[in-house]
Structure 1
Amino acid sequence: MLDDVEAVVLVGGKGTRLRPLTLSAPKPMLPTAGVPFLAHLLSRIRAAGVRRVVLGTSYLAETFSAYFGDGAALGLELRYVVEDQPLGTGGGIRNVAEHLTAADVLVFNGDVLCGTDLGAVVGTHRRTAADVTLHLVRVQDPRAYGCVPTDADGRVLDFLEKTDDPPTDQINAGCYVFRRSVIDTIPQGRPVSVERETFPGLLAAGARVSGHVDNAYWRDMGTPADLIHGSADLVRGVAPSAALPGPTGEVMLLEGAKIAEGALVFGGTTVGRGVQIGAGARIEGAMLFDGAAVDEGAIIEHAVIGAGARVGQGASVVDTVVGDRAVVGAQCELRGGLRLWPDVILPPHGVRFSPDV
């Protein structure tokens, strides 16, 4: 148990790329498998034995405190620290320093879904007497990420930018353990990047930076596609969470939702509160937010249907984000990353991709 460790979660940036869905809620509060995304991370922190968590935010901080309060309902003690200006990852960590008292501090990027053993990460940190320890994951194609090579003893050797010829498949997974005293060395009051400034600076100064490498579940939730697939993985139990509002399985059915006889809903779909799904509809791996409606015979695959939105009879919505209260008319076809803005109304047969027959 990590009851002698504190946690910092950096949340609330404006970086969500789901802008058609919501222009006000920060990404960590977007409904994911029935609850705000941040709830899944907090549940993992609590399950590891950590009791005290500081949330560092610069954007819509009141959204977090209004939902999570003091954290007592989660078995946590939550504290909120607001940045006067965006400070980056390193600056955000430094900004909360005065609220930290533990010798070791777990730090999380608030938009990553991960299943690593937090106790094992802290164990690596302490076993190697590290100043900072990074959780590293192996990915199939590391070219899209910066790489972090380590030696045979797990010591981090370098931080490399994206390259077409990466020397390792290990990447920074957005979870760190800091020795408390190291946090005080981060410059205060200005933007700082841990990846570009803090970690390379520690290596240059001869500090011990360790890597904890594993093959745990990991997904950066930075795009609509990642949010959809991450939510489905949570619903199906592929990604771990103690915050799910129901049992894992092919579908997460929330209060008041109704699925008509003959409809097929599977693949880790979340059906929000009050959602109505008509007969013959087929829905796979999708997120249907509260109050949405899907008419008879509609097909929805790997898509987000916003709150109060409607998908008409026989319409097809694939790899698409449909904004809140929007209407997809009967027999319309939306696909390929298309995003429909809130309140937009598409008439029946208004958009087609397939040829007429």
Structure 2
Amino acid sequence: MDDVEAVVLVGGKGTRLQPLTFSAPKPMLPTAGVPFLAHLLSRIRAAGVRRVVLGTSYLAETFADYFGDGTTLGLEITYVVEEVPLGTGGGIRNVAKHLTSDDVLIFNGDVLAGTDLRAVVATHRHTDADVTLHLVRVPDPRAYGCVPTDGDGRVLEFLEKTANPPTDQINAGCYVFRRSVIDTIPEGRPVSVERETFPRLLATGSRVSGHVDTAYWRDMGTPADLVHGSADLVRGVAPSAALAGPVGEALVLDGARIADDARVHGGTTVGRGVRIGAGARVEGAMLFDGAVVGAGAVVQHSVLGMGAQVGDGAVLVDAIVGDRAVIGARCELRAGARVWPDVVLPPHGVRFSPDVE
């Protein structure tokens, strides 16, 4: 698809994990061993797209410092900065002058997905659409706005969240725009594609198509989504050509040391220089560089920031531990507990579970 360009929009909003760990924007948080954005860029490259415009209003230099001009990824990356946040529609309009192709793939930069991008473009062209949306079917669409389509794949309307959604199809955050449509988006002000651009296109009789599938999809807006998404990448459930190693039960980076009788599985990422002690059990977790898990400790679906330490016999389930924080021996943290960077919890200092009679 060398006749298609891609636009990736990475906004300023971050995950609630961010204050506990890194100052970088969420798309740069290490996920399965590399910045999250690297996984999306690898899928774009695998689909045959070569030119990417990265639009951001937040810490743009962070992206440029890491990805450069895109040569190492087989891409040509152009960076466009918003002076003020412009929303999805405004962000698309803001990069318009840098686009040259007739069809443009647009991505929200905080979504992890596995759809066939070539198929989305094929639907766009086959239906002669002005805009095509990737719509994914989800088991419970009540938490999302719904997008019903007719028998010809034409989008009928955009519905807000409801307790009784008429369809299980939701907006997956990937679009194909006809280049001429981008020029109709108001310039220089915030614009929402969901609330303004797409409804206007429907009202004026434009063809808005839906490419519907059941491909892997996860919005990475919460720490839980980030942890589970990372585990899915490591296990190969979510596709990516950017992994730092082969898919499997664990991704172990250079310099990590794991005791022979420790069990590390469930898509865990073990960062550089991490130490995991005897008899420890680590499942579906993200252990950033230099973290330490003591003997007999349990770490499940949790994040340990850089240099964080978990003492012997401690239990962490669905918890986030900030950089350099220390969790004392036999402490127990569950159900979304957060420990800020550099905090020290003494041995036996916290038990975060109910008493059982």
Q: TM-score, normalised by structure 1?
A: 0.98
Q: Which amino acid aligns with 1:344?
A: V
Q: Which amino acid aligns with 2:184?
A: T
Contact map agreement 2:285 2:303 (CA 8 A) in 1? yes
In the aligned structure 1, how far is the partner of 2:260 from the partner of 2:236?
Answer: 26
Contact map agreement 1:220 1:226 (CA 8 A) in 2? yes
Q: 1:131 to 1:115 in 2, by over 3 A?
A: same
Task: Name 2:103's counterpart in structure 1.
Answer: 104
Task: Name 1:25's counterpart in structure 2.
Answer: 24
Q: Which runs of 5+ in 1 are unaligned?
A: none
Q: What's the offset of the Cα at 1:342?
A: 0.7
Q: What's the secondary structure of 2:18's corresponding residue?
A: coil
Task: Name 1:181's counterpart in structure 2.
Answer: 180
Contact map agreement 1:328 1:345 (CA 8 A) in 2? yes
Task: Name 1:235's counterpart in structure 2.
Answer: 234
Q: What's the offset of the Cα at 1:16?
A: 1.8
Q: 1:273 to 1:12 in 2, by over 3 A?
A: farther
Task: Name 1:53's counterpart in structure 2.
Answer: 52
Q: What's the offset of the Cα at 1:226?
A: 0.5
Contact map agreement 1:12 1:60 (CA 8 A) in 2? no
In the aligned structure 2, how far is the partner of 1:313 from the partner of 1:298?
Answer: 5
In the aligned structure 1, how far is the partner of 2:13 from the partner of 2:166?
Answer: 32
In the aligned structure 2, how far is the partner of 1:138 from the partner of 1:215?
Answer: 5
Q: What's the offset of the Cα at 1:24?
A: 1.7
Task: Name 2:94's counterpart in structure 1.
Answer: 95
Q: Does 1:209 pair with 2:208? A: yes
Q: Does 1:247 pair with 2:209? A: no
Identity of aligned residues (%): 81
In the aligned structure 2, how far is the partner of 1:339 from the partner of 1:152?
Answer: 47
Q: Which amino acid aligns with 2:4?
A: V
Q: What's the secondary structure of 2:278's corresponding residue?
A: coil
What is the CA RMSD across the aligned residues, in angstroms? 1.0
More deviation, 7-16/288-297: 7-16
Q: What's the offset of the Cα at 1:19?
A: 3.0
In the aligned structure 2, how far is the partner of 1:17 from the partner of 1:345?
Answer: 21
Contact map agreement 2:18 2:26 (CA 8 A) in 1? no
Task: Name 2:131's counterpart in structure 1.
Answer: 132
Q: Which amino acid aligns with 1:234?
A: L
Q: Kindly report which structure 2 residues correspond to 1:1-357, keeping only aligned pairs within 5 A, or say none.
A: 2-22=1-21, 24-354=23-353, 355=355
Q: What's the offset of the Cα at 1:356?
A: 8.9
In the aligned structure 1, how far is the partner of 2:127 from the partner of 2:16?
Answer: 38
Contact map agreement 1:257 1:272 (CA 8 A) in 2? yes
Q: What's the offset of the Cα at 1:83?
A: 0.2
In the aligned structure 1, how far is the partner of 2:275 from the partner of 2:330?
Answer: 18
Q: What's the offset of the Cα at 1:23?
A: 5.2
Q: What's the offset of the Cα at 1:143?
A: 0.5
In the aligned structure 1, how far is the partner of 2:14 from the partner of 2:292?
Answer: 29
Q: What's the secondary structure of 2:106's corresponding residue?
A: strand
Q: Which amino acid aligns with 1:320?
A: A
Contact map agreement 1:325 1:343 (CA 8 A) in 2? yes
- Across the two proteins, how many residue pairs are aligned to each other? 356
Q: 1:126 to 1:327 in 2, by over 3 A?
A: same
Q: In the TM superposition, what whole-angstrom CA distance separates every residue of 1:59-116 from its partner, at most 9, and x where no partner exists?
A: 0000000000000000000000000000000000000000000000000000000000
In the aligned structure 2, how far is the partner of 1:328 from the partner of 1:336?
Answer: 16
Q: In the TM superposition, what whole-angstrom CA distance separates every residue of 1:265-286 from its partner, at most 9, and x where no partner exists?
A: 0000000011010011000000
Q: Which amino acid aligns with 2:127?
A: T
In the aligned structure 1, how far is the partner of 2:204 from the partner of 2:32?
Answer: 43
Q: Which amino acid aligns with 1:19?
A: Q
Q: In the TM superposition, what whole-angstrom CA distance separates every residue of 1:277-321 from its partner, at most 9, and x where no partner exists?
A: 001100000000011011101000000000110000000010011
Q: TM-score, normalised by structure 2?
A: 0.98
Q: What's the secondary structure of 1:337's corresponding residue?
A: coil
In the aligned structure 1, how far is the partner of 2:290 from the partner of 2:114?
Answer: 31
Contact map agreement 1:20 1:322 (CA 8 A) in 2? no
